[in-house]
Chains A and B, each alone.
Chain A
Amino acid sequence: MYRRSGRGRLLLLVFLALSIIIITLDFRQNEGGPLERAKDISVTIVAPIQRGLTTVFRPVGDFFASIAELGGLRTENERLKARLDAAESEVRNARALENDYESLARLNDLEQPWTAMETVTASIQANVSSNYRWARVIDKGRDDGVRPDMAVVNADGLVGKIVRPVTEHTATVLLLIDPRGAAGARIAARRDTGKIQGTGENDRLSLELIGSNSDVFEGDEVVTSGYNEGIFPPSIPIGVVDEVIGDVRAPEHTIIVDPFVNFNELDFVLVLTESGQSIAERGGRG
């Protein structure tokens, strides 16, 4: 009775030892260690399948939605055309203003605003969240100039930042709602700064202000403060204050912020390729 006696205990011990060695390596590893390379390889293997599945199945979701909307399409089309014309002229004006601003900013040694930064548009390719971490894989990577620590935004506001693993053609976005997705933040209308952090829930971020001496109210807008964490440019919209727990003037308080970004429905994001380390370096010099 080979099977009954053996039970693969030796095999079990071998693989348990292997797991523990991997965990130990992970705790000691520096940048570019063997696990880093293993991550790159595993992402490279799985990424094409993920990309395939996403391209095949995302249109299905849209397809059913569009059958329902078929009737309204013609009027929608007219309306959008009109809006596009208006938007185009606005873009022309904005571009002129942007040029003016940039030359003024250069003269006055101001920081570049995030809206004028170089961006890379990326599409979400996979959701690599575990049930305790919140992250996405995008279809742009090292070859497109994406590097760890760069800020990621969409039309609504701050989405998160780039973290490893970053491969040639993919990168990982750590979402702001991840408990480790912290950012320097401030109440937009005031100068009070602090730190905003994910709580693991889609509609709640937690903000803690440092040395604030004015009240915070529900509905106050929260934006990135810039430079606190060294990687996010200032004034990216984050969300609005939902609830204030405790006295903001005391060290023990929590401000619950409702984010602008809908983290359930991320399709496209912009990577600010001039943020991240390049900001940290500029901050270091100044």
Chain B
Amino acid sequence: MSVAAKEPRSPSAWAEIGVPRLFAIGGIVVLALALQSTILSYATILGVIPQLVLVVVLCLAFTDGERVGLVAGFFGGFLQDLQLPEGSIVGLYALVYTLIGYAIGVMREYTPAESVWTPVITIAGASAIVEFSYAGLSIILGQQWIGLATTAKVVGLVVLYNTLLTPLVFPVVKKVADRYRPERVHRW
């Protein structure tokens, strides 16, 4: 059956997300970006900055599914793209975060529901995929690269950081997401 064709267009998608929740999600993402570029950037190891925006996007995808995940991913990534100095490719974080937000949202249905470790492990894996994709796409799109050693260092430390941040961020995101969820029918 041609599901995609029959699926109602954006109105239903927006209705599922809901306007108050859109603002709540927007608020969390902007705050995450501000924290990432101030307080968290003082707490770097070997110059690698924790990617809080990514953690928030992944947590949202985990609590609220693929639609919210991909929309939050797009806006979070785009906002992060826009902050970077000139010469970075604008839209690349948006692309990668959209994909991972969607992927995690779909995947969560196949993971053990009530385990504390599920989001932590999922987000660690997703962080590695995101960092490698970002690096790979940058090279493909002709960005000057600083070498495999640096990329490996960055990926390793980002995974470590994001894993440490998840237990702190997840409950906060879940609380906000639960509060602004328009209907609670689909909780499982």
A and B part of one assembly: yes
Give complex CA distance A176, B139 in Å.
22
Residues of A within 8 A of B71 (CB): 11, 15
Interface size on B, residues (CB 8 A): 60
Other-chain contact of A45, B30, B37, B158, B186 (Cβ < 8 Å)? B30
B26 to chain A, nearest CB (A): 10
Chain B 53-92 near chain A by CB (<8 Å), digits 1 or 0: 0000000000001110011011001111111111111111
Check if A57 is an interface residue, CB within 8 A of chain B.
Answer: yes
Give complex CA distance A174, B84 in Å.
10
Cβ–Cβ contact B146 & A179, under 8 A: yes
Check if B148 is an interface residue, CB within 8 A of chain A.
Answer: no
Q: How many A-B residue pairs have CB under 8 A?
A: 163
Give complex CA distance A131, B30 in Å.
19
Give complex CA distance A6, B3 in Å.
7
B66 to chain A, nearest CB (A): 5
Check if A129 is an interface residue, CB within 8 A of chain B.
Answer: yes
Cβ–Cβ contact A16 & B37, under 8 A: no
Check if A110 is an interface residue, CB within 8 A of chain B.
Answer: no
Cβ–Cβ contact B70 & A15, under 8 A: yes
Check if A104 is an interface residue, CB within 8 A of chain B.
Answer: no
Chain A 46-59 near chain B by CB (<8 Å), digits 1 or 0: 10011001100100
Other-chain contact of A178, B9, B73, B85 (Cβ < 8 Å)? B85
Answer whether A8 and B102 are a contact pair too, CB < 8 Å, given A19-B95, A129-B49. Answer: yes
**What range describes how many residues of A lie at the interface?**
35 or more
Check if A42 is an interface residue, CB within 8 A of chain B.
Answer: yes
Cβ–Cβ contact A22 & B41, under 8 A: no
Other-chain contact of B186, A3, A22, A53, A199 (Cβ < 8 Å)? A3
Other-chain contact of A19, B7, B38, B48, B94 (Cβ < 8 Å)? B94
Other-chain contact of A8, B13, B39, B85 (Cβ < 8 Å)? B13
Check if A18 is an interface residue, CB within 8 A of chain B.
Answer: yes
Residues of A within 8 A of B131 (CB): 131
Give complex CA distance A35, B78 in Å.
11
Cβ–Cβ contact A131 & B48, under 8 A: yes
Answer whether A19 and B98 are a contact pair too, CB < 8 Å, given A132-B138, A180-B144. Answer: yes
Cβ–Cβ contact B49 & A49, under 8 A: no
B126 to chain A, nearest CB (A): 16
Task: Give chain B interface residues in 4-45, CB to chain A under 8 Å.
Answer: 4, 7, 9-10, 13, 30-31, 33-35, 37-39, 41-42
Cβ–Cβ contact A11 & B37, under 8 A: no
Cβ–Cβ contact A46 & B83, under 8 A: yes
Cβ–Cβ contact A49 & B34, under 8 A: yes
Check if A120 is an interface residue, CB within 8 A of chain B.
Answer: no
Give complex CA distance A201, B34 in Å.
24
B98 to chain A, nearest CB (A): 5
Task: Give chain A interface residues in 1-25, CB to chain B under 8 Å.
Answer: 3, 5-12, 14-16, 18-23, 25
With contacts A19-B78, A127-B41 known, what are 7 further pairs, Cβ within 8 A? A9-B4, A18-B74, A43-B83, A45-B30, A128-B37, A129-B49, A174-B87
List residues of B whose CB falls within 8 A of some A CB. Answer: 3-4, 7, 9-10, 13, 30-31, 33-35, 37-39, 41-42, 47-49, 51, 65-67, 70-71, 73-74, 77-92, 94-95, 98-99, 102, 105-106, 131, 135, 138, 141, 144, 146, 150, 154, 158, 186
A and B contact pairs by CB, cutoff 8 A, 10 listed: A11-B10, A22-B78, A23-B91, A23-B141, A39-B90, A49-B34, A129-B49, A130-B88, A132-B138, A172-B86
Please name the 5 residue pairs, one residue from A and one from B, whose CB atoms are nearest each other, closest first: A22-B91, A127-B41, A23-B91, A19-B95, A42-B82
List residues of A whose CB falls within 8 A of some B CB. Answer: 3, 5-12, 14-16, 18-23, 25-27, 35, 38-39, 42-43, 45-46, 49-50, 53-54, 57, 61, 125-133, 135, 137, 163-165, 172, 174, 178-180, 199-202, 264
